[in-house]
Structure formats: C-alpha cells, structure tokens
Amino acid sequence: MKKAIAILLCMLMSFAMLGCSNNDASVEPSAPVDNNTPAESQNPEQTNTAEPAQEGVNVAENSDIVVVTGSDMVTFYPINAANTLDGGIQKLMMDGLVGFDKDYKLIWMLATDCEANEDSTEYTFHLRQGISFQDGTPWNAEAAKVNLDIMANQELKYKKSSNYRMIDHTEVVDEYTIKVYLKYSFGAFINYLAHPSALMVSPTQLQNDPDSVETGAIGSGQYSLIEWRPGEYWKLALNREWWGYDKEICGGEALVANNAGFNTITFKPISEAATRVAMLMAKEAEMGGASSTYVETLTGAGLTVEYQTTGLSLTYLYMNCQKELFKDVRVRKAINMAIDIDTMINVTEGGAAARADSYITPAVSYYSSQAAELYKYDIEAAKALLEEAGYPNGFEVTMWTMNNSSSVQRGEFIQQQLEQIGIKVNVVPCESGVLSSNVSGYSGDPAETGYDMYLRGFSPSTGDADQGLARFSTAMFMPAGSNYCLYSNADYDVLMEKGVATSNSDERAAIYAEAQKLIWDECPCVPLFFTTDGYVYNPEKISNVCYYPDGSFYLRDGVYVG
C-alpha cells in the first residue's frame, strides 16, 4: 500500500504544479442561517442512511475510520484553543450548555432551557439530568459552575478567556439549576455559550489534574481520546454510553440515530495536500478536506466531494498596525490595491471562493456589504500611495503563514503580487503549535511581533457579528483575543461596546453596519476571500458527514456503511 501511495503522490505532484423561554425579555441569539433560539427538537435532520433511534447503540465494532487533516491539534482544552480544527475535535469529545446542529441552528445540549431578566444580565439555566462525564463525575450545577468560573476568570489568560469577559459570577440554585450573572447586557451571550470554548470539562479533572486537560480533556461527549502522538495522529473512541443516544435523557427523541457514529476515528495531520489526496485515493483514509486543485482527480476515483452551503470562514492578510510601517493608512491601502484578489481566487482556490466585501462573511449575523467601496487592483495607484507615504522604493517585510501547501501557495502568490510595487515579502511557513504560541499566545510588545504580516483564515464559530468584528478592537490584542493586526481605533472600540450592550436586532444591525464601513476605510488588513470549504469522503465506507459552516468536521451523525 505504501508503494501505491508513493506512485499516486508522484502523479498528483505533477498534476498539481434554546427555544429560550424568557419571563421578562426576548432573548434572540444570532445564528448565521437564521436568528433563532435553540430548537425544541433535539436532533438535527437525518438523511435516509441513518436509522430511527432505538434502544441500544447499533454501531459496528469494526467501523474504524481515518480522517486526514492539514494540521495537528494544538490543545484539547476548549478555553485555550485558538483554531477551528481544535474546536471541531473538542465538540466530538465534550458538550456545552447549548450547541449547533450541522446547519448552525442553536440546539439544547447540557441545558434544557433558560430564562433571562429584562436587561439580559441574568440567565437561569435548567440542566439536563442523568448525564455523567466519562470519568464518572456527574453532570450537575456544581460541575457547570466549576467550568463557568474558569471561563469568567480573566486573570487565567487562556486564549479564549475574553469570550466570557462579560460573566460576573455563577450561582448554584439547586442540583440542576444555575444562574449566570453578567457584568453588563451582552446581546450575543447564548451564541457564545454555543462556541467550542464553552464546552464542559469534568470538574474532577479540572480540580485534581488540571495540567492534563491540554493533552486530553475529559468530557461528556460522543467520543473520548484514546491516544495523541503529536505530529503523527490522535485517535478517538466512540462513547457508547453517550447521553445523545438516550431518548429519555433527551426528552423523548434521541439527539442522533442509534447507528450514528464510528467505533474509532483516527485523525492524521498531513501538511501536503497531495499526500492527503493520495491517501484518500489509496483508501487509506475515509475523509479529508478537498483541495480545489484535486477535485476532478478525487471524483474520478469514485470519491464524493461536497461543499458547505454557507461558510463563516474568511481569509485575511493581517498587517501589524503597531509597527511604524503600517501605522500609515496609505501603506495599508497600497497593499490592498496591489493584490489581484480575483486572479488569486482562480489560481490558489480553483475558483471555489468569493472575494470578500466586508470583514465578516454573509453567513455571519449583521453582515453589511462594502461592495461599492472595493479596493480596485491598480499597481500604479498603489505605487503612488507608497511614494506619497515615503516609500518610493518599497520595503522588506516578513509574512508568517501556516505550513500546509495551500497556505504556502497563497503566501507565494501575495509575495509575487507585492513585488510589483517594490515590497519584498519573506514568506515563513510555521507549524500550528508555533503560531499558537507566537501569535495567538503572544504577550510581548505589540510592535515587536515576529511577523510584519500574517496570512491566516478566521471563522467566528458563534455565528455572531461580535466575534467576527470585536476581534479587531483594542481589548482583543493578543493574548486576550485574536486582533492579529493589532489595530486600535477608539471610535471602533465604542461601536463594539454598543453592539453587545443591546439585544435589539435593529440597533445591532445599525451599529455593526457603521463599524464595517469604518474598518473597511481603515483597512488594517486585506480581507481576501470568503470560502465555502470543500470536503471529500469515501461513499462506500461512510455517509452523513460534512463540515460545519465554520469549517470544522461535523461527524455527529456519521454512519459507517462499509
């Protein structure tokens, strides 16, 4: 089989060159597809390959599959994860109070309902009963409080601590009821609780062995971690006692069908797209991401390639606005004008993307198009702006990006484009762990980051504009947040504060529209393109698999058919 993969690789390389009740006020979480509260029905819609839920789990003992990814895991601890891959894997192992179905509609998970006061500063959650973590610790109000207290503690400075900066404290009302008090009204609170960073971890592990959560957090989820060998693989095993199979615990209808799931899932991080494709074609993997370059090759081999119907992911070229060079908006505008984004989409994405016309995608709530103000590709105008800013001969910069082949190709395209206006770009591919430590976890002088520019995608997994836009506020400088361009504008900061201080949809829409216009004019980065990520799977082996709109794996309803 290794010989077969080697032959395929040679060929490919040449080819590639809460229905939430509210006694006082309406709570309106902002889901990207439609604004709704968690649905009363607990199960996402199933296709006809999933059987109706019955007593007992009917997943074959030999239903072991392999999934190839473009990068490795960084951490298994939800509150400290800063990338989409980690969050997607964690959702298989852990559950939150609320979550998303495959269409990104909010659904109840470890909570069954909630009530909020008129100001949306106090939320009372009723918890689902009869659930235990996989170490035997019972799920109850005390367990919820342990997790929420950690999430609220900003002094811990986890990578996603800032997501929960609005929480003041949590009170245990009774064994299965908690009351969460916020410091101020926060219109997107329920959406943030559906974010992967709010997944619940066993309080026994958190209290007795807190260091172990990074390499193997224990949850109440559909799968548990068997082993992680960084750089090689991580392997999950099905939790056949998962509450999602139990119709009584779920309130009458199980969350998934009784044949949904796989005995084990082995994830293998492979940075080279050609190698991933070779493994899929050689039947050494059942699922992976679909690089646009290889779609015809994959489908020709009998594999199925599909795309998300809606996407939250946007690829950006960030410029560190705390460095003297990028403090000048003329320089930033010149770079926006010097990249032929339409051509880039065709060359690096195979046409499977759309040019960005805002700093969030149309699938994110309160998106407002800036299409009328697009920066036109104009080399001469870009050169003139650089000369006006005092850089007639250009300059030299360092760009960091991920070390997978797709990211490197994008970086090289930008490198060639900016060379036309005298900017020499040194592209530095980095492993995900390095980027986690030196970008997401950076705590030094904002003007002294190792990168001048940073090429990376971002997906607001809450589906709400606050996560997509407030990340560019001053409060979200790393490591507190993901303001990778270290942009700071007092007017923008005020708009972000106003945006979450109200739960009125019309008010939020107006505020975020103003913010999107402001940041578009200030251009602290180049929003390149929206992506609807493609995925490939072997239909002879598996079905009911897809990507969430944020680009992470959705395997909850997956069925083994081989």
Question: Does residue 535 have a pLDDT over 80?
Answer: yes
Residue 55 has what pLDDT? 60
Alpha helices in 329-426 (DSSP H): 329-337, 341-348, 379-388, 405-419
Q: Which of 289-293, 348-352, 451-455, 486-490 has the lowest mean pLDDT?
A: 289-293
> Strand 98-100 relative to strand 106-108: parallel, antiparallel, unpaired?
antiparallel
pLDDT (tens digit, 9 = 90+) per residue, 309-321? 668 889 999 999 9
170 in Cβ contact with 145 (< 8 Å)? yes
How is the chain split among helix, strand and coil, in percent rounded to 5? 35, 20, 45
The answer to whether the Cα torsion of 497, 501, 503, 508 is positive or negative is negative
Mean pLDDT, residues 42-63 taken together: 61
The pLDDT of 318-337, averaged and rounded, is: 98
State percent of the chain over pLDDT 70: 90
Q: What is the pLDDT of residue 43?
A: 38
* pLDDT band, residue 532 (cuts 50/70/90): confident
Over its C-alpha atoms, the chain yields an Rg (Å, rounded) of: 23
In-domain check, residue 171: no
* Cβ within 8 Å of residue 35, ≥6 positions away: 28, 29, 365, 505
The pLDDT of 483-492, averaged and rounded, is: 98
Query: How would residue 36 be classed by pLDDT, with cut points 50, 70 and 90?
Result: very low
Residue 483 covered by a domain:
yes
Q: How far apart, in Å, are the Cα atoms of 21 and each of 125, 254, 343?
A: 10, 22, 49
* Tokens, residue 470: 């407030």
Domain hosting 353: range is 313-531
Question: Does residue 496 lie within any of the structural domains?
Answer: yes
Nearest to 221 by CA among 135, 127, 104, 113: 135
Q: Give the pair of three-digit tokens for residue 124.
A: 């009372």
Read off the pTM: 0.78
At 405 the pLDDT is 87
Model confidence band, residue 34 (pLDDT cutoffs 50, 70, 90): very low
User: Using an 8 Å Cβ cutoff, are 472 and 480 in contact?
Assistant: no
**pLDDT given for residue 307 in this prediction:** 82
For 139-158, what is each residue's pLDDT tens digit?
999 999 999 999 999 999 99
Preceding omega of 38 cis (within 30 degrees of 0): no
| 110 Cβ neighbours under 8 A, 6+ residues apart | 95, 96, 97, 127, 128, 131, 139, 144, 200, 220
pLDDT digits (tens, 9 = 90+) for 194-237: 999 999 999 999 999 999 999 999 999 999 999 999 999 999 99
Sign of CA dihedral 531, 363, 365, 84: negative
For residue 310, the model assigns a pLDDT of 66
Give me the chain's average pLDDT, please.
89
User: Number of folded domains in the chain?
Assistant: 1
Q: Quote the CA–CA distance of 299 and 206 in Å, as a whole number.
A: 45
Mean pLDDT over 267-293 rounds to 91
Residue 387 maps to a domain: yes
65 located within any domain: no
CATH code, domain with 406: 3.10.105.10
Instruction: Answer yes or no: is 352 within a domain.
Output: yes
**What are residue 429's DSSP bridge partners?**
401
On whether the CB atoms of residues 451 and 399 are closer than 8 A, the answer is yes
Question: Could you tell me if residue 355 is inside a domain?
Answer: yes
For 448-470, write each residue's pLDDT tens digit. Answer: 999 999 999 998 988 899 999 99
In a domain, 77, yes or no: no
Mean pLDDT of 471-488: 95
